[in-house]
Amino acid sequence: MKIQYKAAVIMTLFGFVIVTLLSLFYDIYNQRIALDKEMKNIKSLSEANALHVESHLKEKAKIAVTISSAPLIKSALLISNSKFAALSDSARKHEIDRRNQQWMKTSDVNDLFIRDHMTNAVAEYLRYQQIIMPEDYGEIFLTNRYGVMIATTGKLTTLAHAHKYWWIAGHNDGQGRIFLDDRGFDTSVKGYVLGVVIPIKHENEIIGILKCNVNIIGSLTDVVQEFNFGNSGMLKIVRTGGLIVSGRNVTPLSTKVNKSLVELLWQKENGTAIISETDGNQFVAFSPIRITMGSEQFGFGGKQGSMDHIKGNKGEAWHTVISYSEEEAIGTAREVTIVIIIVGIIFTLLTAIVSLLLGKWIARPIVALSTTAQAIGDGNLDSRASVILNDEIGSLAKSLNRMVRNLQDTMTSRDELLYEVKQRKKTEEDLEGTIRELKKALEKVKLLSGLLPICSHCKKIRDDSGYWNQIESYVHEHSEAEFSHSICQECAKEHYPDMDIYDDEQSQG
C-alpha cells in the first residue's frame, strides 16, 4: 500500500477511535452533568411553581378580604351582634338553636325566614360578587360573632356555624386569621372548592366571619397547563398524603402518587428523588406550598368529609411535584452527544481527505527517490535523484546522489581490478596447464642415468644384483618405454636373404 493511502487510513482509524472514545466519555460525563443540572432545574421549577400557586391562593384571599371590608357588611354585623349580645348566654344559645332548627327543617327557598337571609342587602351584595366573577365562587355567606349566618347566596345546610372547624380556625381564639378550608370536591358546586374564611374585625375585635367557597380548580389547572405548555415534564399539585389535587388529565383527588414519594412529601421540605415507576425511572422534584403549611397570618386544613363535601383535607399541605422520565431528562444530553459524533465523523472524513492529499504531496519526492533507488538497484549508476528541497527529504536526495557517485567511482576501480585479476587468473590457468603437461610428461618418462654395464657382444645389461638382462627387459623395468619388435634392413639381408621383406618395407616406405 502506498504511503499516502497508509497515512489516510491511519488518520481515519485514529480519528474514528478518538471520536468514539471522546463520544463515550462525553456521553457518560454529560449524562451525569445533565442529570445533576436537570435535577437542579426541576427543583427550581418546582419551587417557582409552588410560589406561583401560593400567589394564586393569596390572590383569592385578598379578593375575599376586599369583599369583607365593605361598610355594608360591618354595619350589618354590628346590628346583628347587638341583638344577640342583649340576650343572656342561655337565652342566646336557645335562640341560636331555635333558628338553626327552623333553618334546617325548611327546604323551601321561598320561605320568608329563608328569604330573609338570602335577599337582604348583604346577601344581594354577595350575590353581586358572584356575578362579576363568574365560575369563581360557590356560596358566599356571612356569620356574626356568635356564628349565626345573617346573609348567604344560597340555601346552606345549617344556620349556626360557630361549632365548625373552619369557623373556629378563622376565629383563632379571638386573634383571627385567614383560613383556607381545603374542602375537596363540593357537591353543591360540583367542583373542587377551597373555602376562604375571613375574620372581620372592628376596633380590634372579631365581629364576624365571611366565608367564600372558591372553585379553585380553574386557577390550579391554569398553572398546570402553563407549565406543561413550555416543558416536557409533568407538574402536579399534590396533598402530603399523596392525592393529586390538580394534574394533566387527572380528575382531582382521584389518583395518588407513588408511595415512595409520599414518604418524602411528609417531610414537608424541598427535595429531589429518583422514583421507580412501572414505565421506568422518574426524576422528581417537590416543594411545599408554604401558605398551605400554616402560619400566623394563614391557616390551612379541612376535614375528611361532611354532608356537602368529600375527600376534605386534614393535616395535609399542598406540594408542587414535577416529574421527568429518565429518557426526557437525559434526552438533551444524548442529542448533544449525537451532534458531537456526527461532527466528529465529518471532521474525521475531512481529516482523511486532507491526509490523502497531504500524503500525495509529501510522498511525491519520496516516490521519486524510490524510483531512483530502484534504478540504481538495477545497475543504472547514471541515475540521479532530481528532488530539490531544503528539508530532510532534500538532504536524503543529496546523500543518495553522493552515494551513487562514490559507488560509480568505486565500480570503475573495481572493473579495472577485476580485469587485472582476470588477466592474472588467465596467466595462472595457462601456467597450471603447462605444469599439468609437464607432470604428464614426467609421469611418462623415467630417466636412466649413470653408467650401464652392457655386453659388447650380446648387448645384455647387468643390473645391480649382478644378473644380465636383455636390454628390452631392463629398459622396460626402469622406464615407461614399451618395445615393439621389427627388423632392420641389414639384419633382414643378413638373416633372411631369401625373403622380400626388405623390398616390401621399402615399397611401404
Does 424 reside within a domain? Answer: yes
Please state which of the ranges 192-201, 357-366, 490-499 shows the lowest mean pLDDT: 357-366
Strand partners, 178: 298
Does 485 reside within a domain? Answer: yes
Please state which of the ranges 224-233, 426-435, 496-505 shows the lowest mean pLDDT: 496-505
**472 and 436 together in one domain:** no
Does 415 reside within a domain? Answer: yes
Domain boundary among 400, 418, 444: 444
Show the CA angle centred on residue 162, arms to residues 70 and 131, nearest 5°.
Answer: 35
Tell me the pLDDT tens digit for each residue of 120-170.
999 999 999 999 988 788 889 999 999 999 999 999 889 999 999 899 999
Give backbone dihedrals phi and psi of 13, rounded to 5 degrees, phi first. -60, -45
Domain boundary among 395, 418, 444: 444
Q: Which long-range contacts (CB under 8 A, 24 or more apart) does 107-114 make?
A: 107/155, 109/155, 114/155
Q: Report the percentage of the chain scoring pLDDT > 90.
A: 34
Tell me the pLDDT tens digit for each residue of 231-246.
778 899 999 999 998 8
Tell me the pLDDT tens digit for each residue of 51-64.
999 999 999 999 99
Asked if residues 145 and 208 have their Cβ atoms less than 8 Å apart, the reply is yes
Tell me the pLDDT tens digit for each residue of 70-94.
999 999 999 999 999 999 999 999 9
Please state which of the ranges 206-210, 387-391, 454-458 shows the lowest mean pLDDT: 387-391
Does 97 reside within a domain? Answer: no
Q: DSSP secondary structure string, 442-500? A: HHH-----SPPPB-TTT--EE-TTS-EE-HHHHHHHHSS--------HHHHHHH-TTS-
**435 and 474 together in one domain:** no
Domain boundary among 412, 444, 476: 444
Tell me the pLDDT tens digit for each residue of 221-277.
888 888 877 777 889 999 999 999 888 888 888 889 989 999 999 999 999 998 887
Host domain of residue 484: 461-508
Tell me the pLDDT tens digit for each residue of 8-46.
667 677 666 776 776 676 666 666 666 777 788 889 999
Does 406 reside within a domain? Answer: yes
Number of structural domains found in the chain: 2
Among all chains, which residue has been given the C-alpha cell 349565626?
148
Q: Specify the 3-state DSSP secondary structure of 282.
A: strand
Q: Spell out where 232-270 has E strands.
A: 234-239, 244-247
Q: Which amino acid is residue 472, in one-letter code?
A: E
Does 82 reside within a domain? Answer: no
**395 and 439 together in one domain:** yes
Does 268 reside within a domain? Answer: no
List the one residue out of 115, 194, 97, 209 whose CA is nearest residue 154.
Answer: 115
Q: DSSP secondary structure string, 157-200? A: S-SB-TTSHHHHHHHGGGT--EEEEEEEEETTTTEEEEEEEEEE
- pLDDT at 501 > cutoff 60: no
pTM for this entry: 0.62
Does 472 reside within a domain? Answer: yes
- pLDDT for 307: 41
Within 13 Å and on the Cβ side, how many CA atoms surround 296? 1
Show the CA angle centred on residue 198, arms to residues 302 and 287, nearest 5°.
Answer: 50
- pLDDT for 509: 42
